[in-house]
Structure 1
Amino acid sequence: MSGDVTSTPVLTFTPEFKTHSPRRLAELRALGPVHRAQLANGLQVWMVLSEQEARRALTHSALRKDASPAEEALAAVGFTTNRPGVGLGGNMLESDPPAHTRLRRLVAGAFSPERTRQLAPRIQQIADELLDAMGDEVDLVEAYNAPLPIAVISELLGVPEHDRHHFREWTAAALSPPSDAQRAGALSLNRYMSDQIQLRLTEPSPDLERRRAERGDDLLSALVEARLRGDEALSDEELLGTAVLLVVAGHETTVNLLGTIMVSLLRRPDQADLLRARPELMPGAVEEFLRFDPSVEQTTMRYAAEDLDLGGTRIRRGDVVVVMLGSASRDIVQRDGGDSDVLDVAREGARHLAFGYGIHHCLGAPLARLEARIAIASLLRRFPELRPAVPLDEVPWIPAGIMRGPRSLPVRLR
């Protein structure tokens, strides 16, 4: 890897760095907008930290999802997660136009603001059922943060309830650095979704017919029908890749968003009390949470198809670039003259890049916002004495990968 910055690579994604990444990234951002870095899997990348350069990188025509220019570097660290059928490839997130445009169009309608609003009563019902089942002390991640978005995306896709408990384990593994466990998790998820697709390609089962009668056609069935019609030229690999992406992006991001929100509120109980007293602040507060500590800490990788400049740094063809969305979001407030390290649920018009920018802006953003508003408001309303059961400095964080969030969060509810 080459460029104008010649310092030793920053070993950024150690577990210690991940735990304290907002502070550590702010220190790096003060030194410059682009830095040489090393991911947990050993791959060297260019890390973009500032808002201005983040927007440029996320829309630059030379930075693409086609990994061909970086094949040698990726192979050296065993990176395989974007391979269709065994990893997390064959979908819109890992595609460039025109394939990206075609694949995104296939599922865009299911996540429109209007369709999302129709899910609010069901999301509230799921939240209430989970809250009803809680004892006096629980791990909030396992009892609430994880099962709520898993239930929502599973119902959208038409996945049977008795199979959903696997999703959390498989996706967490699939998003971790290359290892036997990572490859096994990604492969298990691909095999399961392949089986669900085959179920819809063959004679419909009574269980599938019952679900259709209750809630109409599920999203996975609609994708299968598009494949059968051939009107969108959807290949078998793209069908499977899209299904796997919807499972992963449809719940893992929200699981960790709920976790980062609750850690922030447990650190600042005054902010939780303010939301209880003024529930009308919740929509704006969710934007502030997304700015303050987003669950998708960095983008997936982009590959330089030609030489370019970012923030005074020369990026060469074949170099790998990642954008640190959390750092860029805090930079927005700092550039506006505010205190980016202070959580303020009453902040008006909080701006951020938590859902990305450009053509890969998160399609599920309306759903994530809705789930967060309902889940957090319901939890705060139900349990006014909610407090941590362990010192917050002892809460374990995801040690590697693009996600940020607590792995567990023990709390006392009463």
Structure 2
Amino acid sequence: MRPVPEIPVTDPAVLADPFTAYAQVREVSAVAKLTGAGMPPMFAITRHAEAKAALADPRFVLSEASFLRPPGIPEHCQRYLHTMAEMDGPEHARVRGAAAPAFSARRTAAMRPAVEVVVERLLDTLETETDLLLDFAGPLPMEIICELLGIPESDRPRWREYGAAVSAGYGPGFIAAIPGIMASAEAAVAASRTEPNAGILSQLLDGPLTETELVTLVWHLLLAGQTPTNLIGNGVAALFSHPEQLAALRANPDLAPRAVEELMRWCGPQLLTTPRFATEDVDVDGAEIPRGAAMTVAIASANRDPRAFDDPDRLDITRPLGAPGHLGFSHGAHFCLGAPLARLQTEIAVTGLLRRFPDLAPARPETVRAPDPGTWRLAELPVRLR
């Protein structure tokens, strides 16, 4: 078997530029071994075709070890933590199949007016100099989740606090928020029975999901629904550093759907997929991932694989849609159920921002990123609006 090169993912140089680190390995091996302080080693697939195949390969399965369970979560909340992201096989198919109609392309398209209203309202609140992550991209997903769930306006201040706690990542604030989140999710499910509304919970009540599964779905939405925050932040920063692309999008907002896909490919927030475990020895282009080993797909590497994309390191918002698709929303049975809504939010947010503020510019020349080997995200995005 071919030797597997290592990538020290917590090394400052790799954290600062994971794309170069992965590219160097990708050209010699379709598989790398990721190592780093405070994390167990795991194998990463670096090339697009092999990565896409692995995400649909039943020999790689999820397990409890795939997900971080922060200590300190109260016992009565534990039953809501087993989301569909942690399921495989028939269990996953049943829960996903029941929830899927609430996230269909048709329903998402019907939410466009509501998303536009939320985006305009947030834009109205921005100061001349502002942190776009804190004041715009950060609050947006929680506002849309409240719309999706049918949360009454009187309850939304509390939900906004939950969104801020979740988007801040694992830490004391996140743990402290979990009991309140779960209690509010229980209340939302109960209210959807007694006072039906246009939210998805009322739509799902007559389906096969249990009460626990409905509450768990709300929890899953809060966790997975934060993607637009970092995609908008990364995308705006990328457009700042590529003024010709920024000018093209300003001149032709109809390019927005292509721009969102290209930004997700080029600077999507997820660097690595959730780890899966090999049920047997698996040969990937001559490199072995042994039975029991953890495997992840290096999305940041696969999405810039020259075997799949022409001139992959070039940001090009006119890049045609279609095959080969990027893996920013994963692939296979665990393709992101909320991808259409994440795309819609990002499209409306970015085009609205550029339309309202034609002189939008970074307030500082440098960007500050959170040191996270699994996520490509900014710590802040200070901008001048005019």
Query: Aligned to 1:164, what secondary structure does the other structure show?
Result: helix
Equivalent residue number for residue 3 of structure 2: 5
Q: Alignment partner for residue 170 of structure 1, among 165, 168, 186?
A: 165
Instruction: Give the distance between the partners of 1:133 and 1:99, measured in 2 at CA.
Output: 44
Q: Identity, % of aligned pairs? A: 32
Deviations 1:334-390 (A, max 9, x none): 125621111111122263111111100111111111111111111111111111111
Query: Aligned to 1:129, what secondary structure does the other structure show?
Result: helix
Matched, 1:293 2:281: no
Instruction: Give the distance between the partners of 2:174 and 2:343, measured in 1 at CA.
Output: 27
Please state how far the C-alpha of 1:87 moved relative to its aligned partner: 9.6
Q: What TM-score do you get using the length of structure 2 for normalisation?
A: 0.89
Q: After the TM superposition, which of the residue ranges 306-315 and 320-329 deviates more from structure 2?
A: 306-315
Instruction: Give the distance between the partners of 1:88 and 1:312, measured in 2 at CA.
Output: 41
Equivalent residue number for residue 196 of structure 1: 184
Matched, 1:121 2:99: no
Q: Alignment partner for residue 29 of structure 2, among 29, 32, 35?
A: 32
The 1:45/1:262 distance shift into structure 2, 3 A limit, reads same
Instruction: Give the distance between the partners of 2:304 and 2:250, measured in 1 at CA.
Output: 25
Equivalent residue number for residue 217 of structure 2: 242
Instruction: Give the distance between the partners of 1:369 and 1:288, measured in 2 at CA.
Output: 11
Equivalent residue number for residue 92 of structure 1: 84
Equivalent residue number for residue 347 of structure 1: 319
Query: Aligned to 1:196, what secondary structure does the other structure show?
Result: helix
Deviations 1:35-83 (A, max 9, x none): 111255321100111001101210111101124xxx6xx8xxx942599
Please state how far the C-alpha of 1:199 moved relative to its aligned partner: 2.1
Equivalent residue number for residue 218 of structure 1: 199
Equivalent residue number for residue 53 of structure 2: 56
Please state how far the C-alpha of 1:17 moved relative to its aligned partner: 2.3
The 1:27/1:89 distance shift into structure 2, 3 A limit, reads farther
The 1:140/1:12 distance shift into structure 2, 3 A limit, reads same
Matched, 1:151 2:143: yes
Query: Aligned to 1:53, what secondary structure does the other structure show?
Result: helix
The answer to whether the Cα contact below 8 Å between 2:186 and 2:215 also exists between their aligned partners in 1 is no
Query: Aligned to 2:303, what secondary structure does the other structure show?
Result: helix
Q: After the TM superposition, which of the residue ranges 165-174 and 267-276 deviates more from structure 2?
A: 165-174
The 1:149/1:6 distance shift into structure 2, 3 A limit, reads closer
Query: Aligned to 2:22, what secondary structure does the other structure show?
Result: helix
Matched, 1:17 2:14: yes
Equivalent residue number for residue 243 of structure 2: 269
Equivalent residue number for residue 287 of structure 2: 313
Query: Aligned to 2:314, what secondary structure does the other structure show?
Result: coil
Please state how far the C-alpha of 1:185 moved relative to its aligned partner: 4.8
Runs of 4 or more above 4 Å deviation? 81-84
The answer to whether the Cα contact below 8 Å between 2:83 and 2:216 also exists between their aligned partners in 1 is yes
The 1:6/1:116 distance shift into structure 2, 3 A limit, reads closer
Matched, 1:408 2:380: yes
Q: Alignment partner for residue 141 of structure 1, among 133, 136, 145?
A: 133
Q: RMSD of the alignment, in Å?
A: 2.7
Instruction: Give the distance between the partners of 1:385 and 1:411, measured in 2 at CA.
Output: 10
Q: Alignment partner for residue 374 of structure 1, among 348, 364, 373?
A: 348
Please state how far the C-alpha of 1:102 moved relative to its aligned partner: 0.9
The answer to whether the Cα contact below 8 Å between 2:98 and 2:209 also exists between their aligned partners in 1 is no
Instruction: Give the distance between the partners of 1:242 and 1:17, measured in 2 at CA.
Output: 35
The answer to whether the Cα contact below 8 Å between 1:88 and 1:245 also exists between their aligned partners in 2 is no
Query: Aligned to 1:98, what secondary structure does the other structure show?
Result: helix
Query: Aligned to 2:355, what secondary structure does the other structure show?
Result: helix
Please state how far the C-alpha of 1:158 moved relative to its aligned partner: 3.5
Query: Aligned to 1:338, what secondary structure does the other structure show?
Result: coil
Query: Aligned to 2:313, what secondary structure does the other structure show?
Result: coil
The 1:373/1:198 distance shift into structure 2, 3 A limit, reads closer
Which blocks of at least 5 consecutive residues in structure 2 are unaligned? none
